[in-house]
Amino acid sequence: MPDLKQMRNPTAPVMINTAERRAFVMRLRISGAKLEDIADACKRQFGEDRLPKGYDRAQVCQDILRELEQISQYREQSRNALLALDTERLDRMLMSIWPQVIAGNFGAIDRALRILERRAKMFGIDSPTKVAPTTPDGEQPLLDAAEFVALLERTDKALKARTSSAEVVPSLT
């Protein structure tokens, strides 16, 4: 087992081996390979000495989950960076027209409102618009209360039937 110092250093050999293995695992999984086949391919590709002891389908699954978690974290960081960049852009746009807004220029006021609307959308500041399901002509509700309750009961029954027949823990295969 590598020491904590090696695990914190992304250039440590053990960390490089892990990154290479996980990239290899992800390529195979994306191509549709089964977990057992991926474990066997890793043993051939890297050799038993470069893999964790007893490397098998469970550890392949763990590698996949850790990579997906890293991808999710990266996307969240990218999203936050993009939000910060767009916020800065909107601030600069608003600052550039603000003197005209204060002077009462209606075009600048309209533009400022559009910038503020965009900011509100980006950050979810505005309350959601309520939408009532209606028939295509918009004249009457799509379902009356009794039909809606019946639909909910059918959906609930179908979901219960599906989950009772499924595995308790979903498999990645």
Per the structure block, which two tokens stand in for 21? Answer: 């293995």
Q: 9-16 contacts: CB < 8 A, separation 24 or more?
A: none
Residue 51 · residue 43 · CB < 8 Å: yes
Cα–Cα distance for residue pair 158/37, rounded to 1 Å: 35
Along the 173 residues of the chain, how does pLDDT read in single tens digits?
Answer: 455 455 566 667 878 889 999 999 999 999 999 999 999 999 999 998 889 999 999 999 999 999 999 999 999 999 999 999 999 999 999 999 999 999 999 999 999 999 999 999 998 888 776 666 666 676 766 667 787 788 788 888 888 877 665 544 444 54
The domain locations on the chain are 4-123
- DSSP per-residue string spanning 25-41: HHHHHHTT--HHHHHHH
Q: Is 0.85 topped by the overall pTM?
A: no
